[in-house]
A = this chain, B = another copy of it.
Amino acid sequence: MDHLKEKTLHSEKLFSGRIIDLYLEDVELPNGKTSKREIIKHPGAVAVIAVTEENKIIMVRQYRKAMERNLVEIPAGKLEKGEEPIVTAKRELQEETGYTCDELEPLISFYTSPGFADELVHVFIAKGLRKDTEEHQLDEDEFVDLLEVSLEEALELIDKKEIYDAKTAYAVQYLQMQTLFRK
């Protein structure tokens, strides 16, 4: 399927950040013409679907500077360099929520914004979840509220646009589908 390929003629790194890098690329299109592509490189991230024995979904509310507002999301975090996604997922779950789990089962991975970014999110399901006795420990620039919500409450939070991001919408829809399967 090389008839769609865009060939890199020139790539310039315009910004190197703590989380993202920005590249501006000149490309040759399949018809021989040229164009520019604005590309964000991101280390990737993990997200965890964690449901308690009482059938409550564990969520975190946090301030998202890009939108200048709070969002309610499933626990998530970016990959550290060289770290296996499953290791990041276990750590982020514990740090953000104070919960640990016996097992993390990979559910799906997806690119979040393929039009301009290479961020890949790996979604896991936590099995054998339990509240840790230790305090949860956040990164020093991370402030979150812990929430435990039923599926019905999660659907209401989607209606109210408090849950308002792709990975969490996917997770809630997944749990909704599991409920249908059981019926």
Known: A31-B143, A66-B117, A164-B111. A61 touches B4 (CB 8 A): yes
**In the complex, how many angstroms separate the beta carbon of A132 from the nearest chain B beta carbon?**
22
Q: Tell me if A30 and B165 are in contact (CB < 8 A).
A: no
**B residues within 8 A CB of A169?**
108, 110, 170
Q: Does A45 contact B (CB under 8 A)?
A: yes
Closest to A176 in B: B177
**B residues within 8 A CB of A73?**
114
* A94, B136: Cα distance in complex, Å: 50
Known: A1-B145, A4-B143, A141-B33. A115 touches B173 (CB 8 A): no
Q: Tell me if A145 and B4 are in contact (CB < 8 A).
A: yes
For chain A residues 102-118, which have a beta carbon within 8 Å of chain B?
A: 108-118
Interface size bracket, A side: 35 or more
Most chain-B Cβ atoms within 10 A of its Cβ — which of A116, A121, A145, A177?
A: A116
Closest to A119 in B: B113
Instruction: Give the number of copies in the complex.
Output: 2
**B residues within 8 A CB of A8?**
65
Q: Tell me if A6 and B66 are in contact (CB < 8 A).
A: no
**B residues within 8 A CB of A177?**
173, 176-177, 180
Contact of A40 among B66, B140, B167 (CB under 8 A): B66
Q: Tell me if A66 and B173 are in contact (CB < 8 A).
A: no
Q: Does A160 contact B (CB under 8 A)?
A: no
Q: Tell me if A166 and B170 are in contact (CB < 8 A).
A: yes
- A33-B140, A121-B166, A180-B181 provided; 17 other pairs, C-beta below 8 A? A1-B70, A4-B62, A6-B63, A15-B15, A17-B24, A18-B36, A19-B116, A27-B65, A67-B114, A67-B118, A76-B115, A78-B115, A108-B158, A110-B164, A110-B165, A112-B112, A112-B113
